[in-house]
Amino acid sequence: MRMRRFEFSSPSSLTEGLALIGQYKERAKVIAGGTDLLVQMKSKIVNPERVISLLNVPELSGLKKNGKGLRVGALAKHALLESAPEVKEGWGILAEAAHKVGSPQIRNLGTVGGNLCNASPAADTAPALLVLEAEAVLVSQKGKRRIPLEAFFSGPGMTVMEKDEILQEIFIPQVPANSVWTYLKLGRRKSLDLALVSTAVLLIQDSQSGICQRARVALGAVSPTPMRAKETEEFLRGKELNESILRRAGEIAMKECRPIADIRASAEYRQEMVKVLLGRAIQKSMGIPIPPTGI
């Protein structure tokens, strides 16, 4: 399917890129890897007057670790996130989630910024970044602002970014001591599929008693946006994570989510799978073997 004609710009600095974005606003679309945008343009879902490539903007690239956490440039490829030693060692759940994105070809092309700004409820990196309590750094010609990623998504395909803003980077704080985590994704196929349901779990446990001191739970593909399951988190706090507690936590998570029915799965199926996936994710994070699960 042929795309409509458009003008193309490839700025070489953040200043130049922001000037173009500020000039064209809603008449332009920014592109990085293009794994989402090009499909939308071919399908005539979006028809920008100008496409602005950010691939040559150095201020949007790379990873940088410091004493406070990890800076992830919006142009960081999924392949980098799944393989970089600093990510695997300090923020392993993000490496797990990045590995679940598409195929090797897509992971070598697609960027974390694109995955988040596309704002799909089923975005793979979003649940992991939510339980890591990441922050989005947005920039425009007027300056920068920093918001919790939890406040970044406003609806399916929508974010809180203004028309003249771009996502510059993601900041991820240090993970608390005694943390364990995992990311599980359920799809109809074993690979190359969108999530029907996904869940990310990060638990902070007492090293002596094993009691859950704090839980972070995020769900994907079961609400208009990737979401934190706050009621489930509060229920798990202070509990010994036995079978009955996990069952009850799953039931609470089922009630928190708001899945839709579509051609891939019914809303009822998605809710039931939230309960199953959450229990298994908690078990896996604690080192308990689970049945083969998801992608």
pTM of this prediction? 0.95
Question: Tell me: the pLDDT tens digits for 186-217?
Answer: 998 877 889 999 999 999 988 778 799 999 99
Domains (range + CATH), the chain: 7-52 (3.30.43), 60-173 (3.30.465.10), 179-285 (3.30.390.50)
**pLDDT tens digit string along 221-262?**
999 999 999 999 999 999 999 999 999 999 999 999 999 999
Could you tell me the strand order of the sheet in which 166-173 lies?
Answer: 63-65, 69-73, 166-173, 135-140, 143-148
Average pLDDT, the chain: 94
DSSP H or E run through 153: strand 153-155
Phi-psi region of 238 (alpha: psi -120 to 50; beta: other; left: phi over 0): left
Q: Which strands, in side-by-side order, build the sheet including 7-9?
A: 7-9, 50-53, 28-31
State how far the Cα of 190 lies from the Cα of 188, in Å rounded to an integer.
Answer: 7
pLDDT digits (tens, 9 = 90+) for 112-169: 999 999 999 999 999 999 999 999 999 999 999 999 999 999 999 999 999 999 999 9
Q: Give yes or no for residue 1 having a pLDDT over 70.
A: no
Report the run of H or E that residue 52 belongs to, with start and end.
Answer: strand 50-53
